[in-house]
Homo-oligomer: A and B are copies of this chain.
């Protein structure tokens, strides 16, 4: 990290776009002094990531590059760099490889998710299985996991193991979710158990690792872990909401994927809980259909509208983000801590 303010790069615009989307021009002005550094961090992390995924066989490099393509929001690298700087680090170089590893793990899990969910679109482009075929998608996901662990090999054993545990959580979350498909009898606790494993664990592990590398006190490591966990939950709850109430063009993928796949989300569980009589029966019957028509999906949305679940779930996402922000009180105050709070705020309100 040089002292010179870096030239604007696509990653600048990425952070800006994220802040603008979530809180408008004001937020960008608030963070004008720190944004160039974070943009440079994200760019540097991306360089480490790109170097790591280069394979000797071009088609594997192509598929891996496609999977890691620029459509991603890069929220994880942003959080890890900002957290490291919030703890007083002048340079984020010591966490670049780790942030790249966590971004690769996240990407690997998305690739295998797209295989499992038969997803055809991801961030407005053909999903990897659609673009490269199922065999390539499976192997490319494996490859991204492998490269992530190679990057993590540079860190102390405790960090490699934390990284590994969060990946095991991810696998467990996926299995839990798979078993809960088409099942509206799962309760909120079970839903959160899935989300903690499938989404939150990896964010928490990345941030706790950054705190450990910065030499932070145990309560700060714990606070950042809890920030990651609650922010991860806020992210997923908002995701559930957007799957029904988002704009497919902004999202870059079709709506109603969770209805289609029969994933019990907070939205569908809340709607099902609030409905009664004939509406409730109809919701259940449609939700449990293995192959749903467009008409079925639209009717599920209508019933969800009628249940009033939408605003409640949107509100719940913001409550989780408020919890995330409160955990930051254990960190030293400053613009990077403020930015982490802002990201939590934005994650629960994002439209993409």
Residue A178 is within 8 A (CB to CB) of chain B in the complex: yes
B142 and A150 form a contact (CB under 8 A): no
Which of B146, B154, B157, B170 interacts with A168 by CB under 8 Å?
B146
* Chain B hits for A59, CB < 8 A: 175, 179
Interface of A is mostly: helix
| A39 to B164 Cα, complex, angstroms | 30
Residue A135 is within 8 A (CB to CB) of chain B in the complex: yes
* Chain B hits for A168, CB < 8 A: 55, 143, 146-147, 150
| A172 to B140 Cα, complex, angstroms | 9
A164 and B171 form a contact (CB under 8 A): no
Encoded as 1 (CB less than 8 Å from any B CB) or 0, chain A from 130 to 166 comes to 0001111011111101110110111001001100110
| A178 to B142 Cα, complex, angstroms | 15
* Chain B hits for A55, CB < 8 A: 168, 171-172
Which of B60, B135, B161, B176 interacts with A116 by CB under 8 Å?
B135
| A309 to B118 Cα, complex, angstroms | 41
A56 and B172 form a contact (CB under 8 A): yes
| A164 to B138 Cα, complex, angstroms | 17
Closest to A140 in B: B171
| A146 to B140 Cα, complex, angstroms | 15
* Chain B hits for A152, CB < 8 A: 149
A305 → chain B closest CB, angstroms: 30
| A263 to B55 Cα, complex, angstroms | 23
Which residues A216-260 have CB closer than 8 A to chain B?
Answer: none
- A contact set with B: CB distance below 8 Å: 55-57, 59-60, 63, 108-109, 112, 115-116, 133-136, 138-143, 145-147, 149-150, 152-154, 157, 160-161, 164-165, 167-168, 170-172, 174-176, 178-179
Question: Which 8 pairs across A and B sit closest by C-beta, in order of nearness?
Answer: A150-B164, A143-B171, A153-B160, A149-B149, A146-B167, A116-B135, A139-B174, A135-B178
